[in-house]
Structure 1
Amino acid sequence: MLNSCEAMAVLPAKDLKRAREFYRDVLGLEPAEENEAGLTYRTTAGSGFFLYETDNAGSAKNTQVSWTTDNLEKEMAELRGRGVVFADFDFPGLKTENGIAELGGERTAWFTDSEGNIHALGQRA
């Protein structure tokens, strides 16, 4: 039933103006649509997410958006150059080196946006 429907992530922002600046200045994204409810972003790969203002932003402790790239180190270097800090983990089942974890054939790195939302950046083997 839902396989023909478009799906999109929904991200909260405590400060929509600040979030918009982060997505523009740090991630290089501009909204494809804008209305009183929030901002819709779309990638050229066909995915997207909706960003809206709420006091609940930053409360989730799980990955909320996952990005896939063909060159993880290159993307990380560019994002680091724009001020992104990648998380480091060292506990059973998850250890990062230089911000990258090896997970079942995928290499993944995590960062947070200006609103505390957790993003993953991964490269499939």
Structure 2
Amino acid sequence: MLKNKSSSAIVAVRDIDRARTFYGDTLGLELADAGMGDLLVYRTGATQLIVYKSEFAGTNQANAAVWDCGDEIDEIVADLKAKGVTFEHFPDLEGVTIEGDVHVADDAKLVWLKDPDGNILHLISM
């Protein structure tokens, strides 16, 4: 039923203006639609990221959105770090080493960061 339908990620935030700055300026996402009040729609690859205002922002303790960064992951991490983004480190993950801010597991590179509301965003390269 849904296998041929598009999907998108959705992230709750407390402050829509702060989120607009983070997702647009810091992450560099293209704003596709801002005409729905406290809801922003960003273009991200072939999908969309929807950001909306909610009193429950940041309560999710799992990944909220994931980007496949391919061979550009190190460059993307360096760019985000230069913009002041800090990254999460998980030293206890079995079979994973940490090189700077990048977790390495065999051929996979994994990076986690949080938006201003604490939503966990994940970057991968496999």
- With normalisation by structure 1, the TM-score equals 0.89
- Indicate the residue corresponding to 1:63 in structure 2: 63
1:19 and 2:19 correspond: yes
Counterpart of 1:33, as a letter, is D
More divergent stretch after superposition (77-86 vs 24-33): 24-33
Uncovered stretches (5+) of structure 1, i.e. residues with no partner:
none
Paired positions, count: 123
Alignment match of 1:120 (pick from 103, 119, 122): 122
Shift, 1:95, TM fit: 4.7
Counterpart of 1:77, as a letter, is A
* Identity %, equivalent residues: 30
- Partner of 1:20: helix, strand, or coil? helix
- Indicate the residue corresponding to 1:47 in structure 2: 47
Note if contact 2:97-2:105 (Cα within 8 Å) is conserved in structure 1. Answer: no
- With normalisation by structure 2, the TM-score equals 0.89
Note if contact 2:86-2:113 (Cα within 8 Å) is conserved in structure 1. Answer: yes
Q: Distance in 1 between matches of 2:47 and 2:10?
A: 12
Q: Distance in 2 between matches of 1:30 and 1:16?
A: 15
- Indicate the residue corresponding to 1:79 in structure 2: 80
- Partner of 2:29: helix, strand, or coil? coil
1:28 and 2:28 correspond: yes
Shift, 1:37, TM fit: 4.9
Shift, 1:103, TM fit: 3.3
Counterpart of 2:92, as a letter, is F
